[in-house]
Amino acid sequence: MSTKLFDLSGKIALVTGSGRGIGFVLARGLASAGARIVLNDVDADGLAAATETLREDGVDAEGVSFDVTNANSVAAGLRDVVERVGNVDILVNNAGIQRRYPLEEFPEEEWRAVLDLDLTAPFLVAKAVVPDMIKAGGGKIINICSLQSTVTRPTIGAYTAAKGGLALLTKSMAVEWAQHNIQANGIGPGYFRTEMTRRLHEDPEFDAWLCKRVPAGRWGDPQELVGTGVFLASAASDYVNGQLLYVDGGLLAGF
Ligand code: NAP
């Protein structure tokens, strides 16, 4: 089989929240398939360091700092991306947060912060990027959803509501924009070792529970999301639209 199917040469990929964690690893993975990379984060210093790291690895990367939850900031950030790099062909909506409280105690502000970043931001960024994709004749949108787009645990009600919403927003993007040759799909990671899950993987009780619960018997490594990311960003997935591909070590397959 030709690897050209997965070749991203000549494509520009914007990955939100990619100063660290899964976003950074996905960006590096898309670069290894040939894409030019635009990293984004709110933390300008972290973003500059991440961009420099990619450049040292020989990656053609730019960093554009903007807050994806704010429509004005998104519009200005996108203008900057187009002027400095060019039109976005591949958008990865990755930025996300987790907040944990029992539902009856969930502070409204924290609830709204999770919904803003994990659900509204992918809508805002896609809305800003899609007009140029339509003009260009197509594009790829990858929404980083979660295992918790479909199942949940106590204390993560806001995250589950947002990621469940994002799975269905992905379908709306697919059905509305397929006519423009835009494919919108989701990746549903299981449990991966990042800053977001630090409290969990440093908790021996949770770690033991998880390793017993996941058929693979271990946490995921963010690098293991790259193959799915490249597939959904490439011509190999041109007739795949509105799907959520879980990368979870088999967790959802059993109970
Ligand atoms: P992470 O290490 O906490 O990274 C999240 C990134 O998003 C950070 O770089 C953060 O920047 C950035 N960010 C936060 N607010 C932002 C904003 N308003 N605008 C732009 N960027 C912003 O988390 P991660 O584990 O890599 O998670 C990445 C995605 O994967 C999230 O959507 C998450 O829900 C999803 N996911 C993760 C797991 C897992 O097991 N780790 C599982 C399922 C799904 P700062 O450094 O400035 O905070």
Tokens, residue 130: 């899609």
Distance of CA 27 to the CA centre of its chain: 10
CA distance 130 to 89: 9
Is 251 domain-assigned?
Answer: no
- State which of 120, 160, 196 you would mutate to test the pocket of ligand 1, scoring each by most atoms of that ligand within 8 A of its C-beta: 196
- State which of 69, 97, 170, 224 you would mutate to test the pocket of ligand 1, scoring each by most atoms of that ligand within 8 A of its C-beta: 97
Is 143 domain-assigned?
Answer: yes
Is 222 domain-assigned?
Answer: yes
Is 253 domain-assigned?
Answer: no
pLDDT score, position 39: 98
Is 254 domain-assigned?
Answer: no
Q: What is the mean pLDDT of each run of 10 residues along the chain (255 residues)?
A: 86 98 98 98 96 97 98 98 98 98 98 98 98 98 98 97 98 98 99 95 96 97 98 98 98 93
Give the DSSP letter string of 9-27: TT-EEEETT-SSHHHHHHH
Q: What DSSP element (H or E) covers 247?
A: strand 244-247
How many domains, the chain? Answer: 1
- In the reported structure, the alpha carbon of residue 151 is separated from the centroid of ligand 1 by a whole-number distance in angstroms of 19
24 lines ligand 1 (CB under 6 A): no
- In the reported structure, the alpha carbon of residue 2 is separated from the centroid of ligand 1 by a whole-number distance in angstroms of 33
Least Cα distance to 120 among 69, 79, 74, 158 occurs for: 69
Residue ranges making up the domain that contains 234: 3-246
pTM: 0.98
Pairing relationship of beta strands 182-189 and 139-144 according to DSSP bridges: parallel
The CATH number that applies at residue 234 is 3.40.50.720
Is 255 domain-assigned?
Answer: no
Cβ pair 130, 52 in contact under 8 A: no
Is 155 domain-assigned?
Answer: yes
Look at phi and psi of residue 96 and say left if phi exceeds 0, alpha if psi is from -120 to 50, else beta.
Answer: beta
pLDDT score, position 27: 98
Is 68 domain-assigned?
Answer: yes
